[in-house]
């Protein structure tokens, strides 16, 4: 049998003996407001979130041994116990004791530590895929219950997009706002760890305003305190975005919004011509956080 680079059989199809595969989409926080802080230290927020077509892939293959195997790319240095994909599989495994094991191959493309939600999206796709692979018959709401045990923003990737995210990120309702059709995402060559950004946010007595009124983000002042060079990256975007620019989550990913593909492609070419360091990608909104590969 022909196997791919990471040992997963070729010729995938949805279900069946060869297993299945899913795209796990990234998200953009188009707006983010901090609304308070709970006694347990978690911040509450209100954020307009949209899934976009920058994707990882989660491949699931049934194996006869009753165990969970996880294969990741060589440069992904995350212990299995901390990997949300493994934790998602383990959560369902312990609850339902399926008759067969699973080999999971995680192919990463979404940058880590950029505020794009790749790890949470991977976990959500794993829950969806194993629900089908193991024939668990769980509803979306039941899957969201397991998702909340993995992380506050994991449930978003199981529901409708765009959505308003509230509470600590676990309260969701569909958004009626019109979303721009295309975004140019710029990911600088450094992460912005969420815990550090929030800690700095708490230390700032009077946070300065964000970079834009169109896509406001209360965490922007803390992010640039942690990574002052973010300001330079944002300045490169500000003259290019037709609709506006913003930062996703706690950073470091920045974005510019456009009304059409042609102008967005021109903006991307402009940044490529200036040899801006980091990753650039044009992305488009999706109606949910995952998609089966057929």
Q: Of 122, 147, 174, which residue sits at a domain end?
A: 174
Q: Read off the CATH number of the domain in which 191 is found.
A: 3.30.70.890
pLDDT in the model for residue 8: 37
Same domain, 204 and 162: no
Length of the chain: 294
pLDDT in the model for residue 241: 83
pTM, 2 dp:
0.91
Between 205 and 123, whose confidence is greater? 123
- Residue 82 pLDDT > 80, yes or no? no
Same domain, 139 and 232: no
DSSP letter at 218 equals T
Q: Of 174, 192, 217, which residue sits at a domain end?
A: 174
Q: Mean pLDDT, the chain, as a whole number? A: 91
- Residue 7 pLDDT > 70, yes or no? no
Per-residue pLDDT band for 6 (boundaries 50, 70, 90) equals very low
Find the range with the poorest average confidence among 52-56, 95-99, 205-209: 205-209
Per-residue pLDDT band for 4 (boundaries 50, 70, 90) equals very low
Of the candidates 121, 117, 249, 265, the residue with the CA atom closest to the CA atom of residue 184? 265
CA distance 233 to 141: 39
Known active-site residue 40: no
Same domain, 137 and 213: no
Q: Is residue 13 part of a domain?
A: no
Same domain, 154 and 198: no
Which token pair is 18?
Answer: 């060869």
pLDDT over 90, % of the chain: 83
Q: Is residue 5 part of a domain?
A: no
pLDDT, one tens digit per residue, over 140-193 is: 999 999 999 999 999 999 999 999 999 999 899 999 999 999 999 999 999 999
Backbone phi and psi for residue 101, each to the nearest 5 degrees, phi listed first: -85, -175
- Residue 99 pLDDT > 60, yes or no? yes
Where in the sequence is the domain holding 245, given as residue range(s)?
182-286
CA distance 294 to 285: 20
Query: Sign (positive/negative) of CA torsion 60, 65, 70, 71?
Result: negative
Please report the DSSP string for 40-98 in residue order.
TSPEEEEEEEEEEEEEEEEEEEEESSSSEEEEE-TT----GGG-HHHHHHHHHHHHH--
Per-residue pLDDT band for 10 (boundaries 50, 70, 90) equals very low
SS (H, E, C) 165-182: EEECCCEEEECCCCCCCE
Same domain, 151 and 194: no
Same domain, 226 and 139: no
Same domain, 96 and 166: yes
Q: Report the pLDDT averaged over residues 87-107.
A: 97
Known active-site residue 269: no
pLDDT in the model for residue 215: 96
Please report the DSSP string for 235-294 in residue order.
HHHHTT-SSEEEE-TTSS-EEEEESSHHHHHHHHHHHHHTT-SSEEEEE-EESBSEEEE-
pLDDT, one tens digit per residue, over 38-47 is: 999 899 999 9
Same domain, 169 and 45: yes
Q: Is residue 6 part of a domain?
A: no
Active-site residue, from 56, 122, 153, 218: 153
Q: In angstroms, how far apart are the furthest CA atoms of the chain?
A: 61
Same domain, 160 and 271: no
Same domain, 239 and 98: no
What dihedral angle (degrees, nearest 10) is formed by the CA atoms of 91, 97, 103, 107?
-20
Q: Is residue 15 part of a domain?
A: no
Q: Is residue 78 part of a domain?
A: yes
pLDDT, one tens digit per residue, over 189-246 is: 999 999 999 999 999 966 656 566 799 999 999 999 999 999 999 999 998 988 999 9
Same domain, 72 and 107: yes
Q: Of 156, 174, 192, which residue sits at a domain end?
A: 174
pLDDT in the model for residue 78: 65
Domains held by the chain: number: 2
Same domain, 163 and 188: no
Q: Is residue 8 part of a domain?
A: no
- Residue 105 pLDDT > 70, yes or no? yes
Active-site residue, from 23, 27, 108, 144: 27
């Amino acid at each position: 049998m022909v196997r791919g680079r990471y040992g997963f059989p070729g010729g995938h199809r949805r279900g069946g003996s060869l297993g299945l595969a899913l795209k796990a989409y990234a998200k953009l926080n188009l707006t983010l407001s901090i609304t308070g802080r709970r006694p347990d230290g978690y911040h509450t927020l209100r954020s307009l979130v949209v899934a976009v077509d920058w994707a990882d892939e989660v491949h699931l293959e049934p194996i006869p041994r009753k165990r969970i195997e996880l294969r990741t790319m060589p440069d992904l240095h995350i212990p299995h116990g901390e990997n949300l994909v493994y934790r998602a599989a383990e959560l369902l495994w312990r609850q339902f004791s399926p008759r067969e094991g699973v080999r999971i191959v995680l192919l990463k493309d979404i940058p880590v530590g950029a505020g794009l939600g790749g790890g949470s999206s991977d976990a959500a796709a794993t829950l969806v895929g194993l629900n089908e692979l193991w024939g668990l018959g769980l509803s979306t709401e039941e899957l969201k219950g397991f998702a909340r045990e993995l992380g506050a923003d994991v449930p978003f990737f199981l529901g409708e997009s765009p959505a308003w995210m509230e509470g600590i990120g676990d309260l969701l309702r569909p958004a009626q706002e019109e979303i721009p059709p295309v975004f140019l995402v710029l990911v600088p060559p450094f992460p912005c760890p969420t815990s550090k950004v929030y800690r700095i946010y708490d230390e700032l007595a009077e946070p300065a305003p964000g970079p834009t009124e169109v896509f406001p983000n209360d965490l922007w002042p803390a992010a640039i305190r942690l990574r002052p060079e973010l300001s330079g990256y944002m300045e490169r975007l500000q003259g290019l975005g037709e609709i506006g620019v913003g930062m996703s989550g706690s950073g470091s990913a920045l974005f510019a919004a456009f009304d059409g593909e042609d102008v967005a492609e021109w903006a991307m070419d402009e940044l490529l011509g200036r040899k801006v360091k980091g990753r650039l990608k044009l992305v488009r909104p999706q109606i949910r956080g995952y998609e089966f590969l057929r």
